[in-house]
Structure 1
């Protein structure tokens, strides 16, 4: 599994960071920083919730 972030869409609202702080943070530029682009499958449920929480649809999980 891989996390992809579209920085052109990201508004830095931080919903992903609130839902999965071990994998996302809002960086100094005001956009998401993916802390682990290739997390293990055991994190899929939490990451899917964080991706779904993004109001601007800037994140996706790729199998």
Structure 2
């Protein structure tokens, strides 16, 4: 899995950080920071959930990577 974030779409809700804190963080202004673009398999379910709950659709997943 490869995680791609579009900081231009991020609205700073922080849902990704709550769901997958080992993969996502936030800057001081609330915009997403990607900590791990290729998370371990045990984190995949949480990353998928984070992408689903992102209100700005700022998280994209490449499941083939």
TM-score, length-scaled by structure 2? 0.86
Spell out the pairing of 1:9-20 with structure 2 (5 A cutoff): 9-20=9-20
**Partner Cα separation in structure 1 for residue 12 and residue 36 of structure 2:** 18
Contact 2:20/2:43, CA 8 A, preserved across alignment: no
Give me the CA root mean square deviation: 1.1
Runs of 4+ in structure 1 deviating by more than 3 angstroms, as ranges, are none
Count of aligned positions: 63
Spell out the pairing of 1:6-45 with structure 2 (5 A cutoff): 6-45=6-45
1:47 aligned partner: 47
Instruction: Give the secondary-structure state (helix, strand or coil) at the position aligned to 1:4.
Output: strand
Give unpaired runs (5+ residues) of structure 2. none
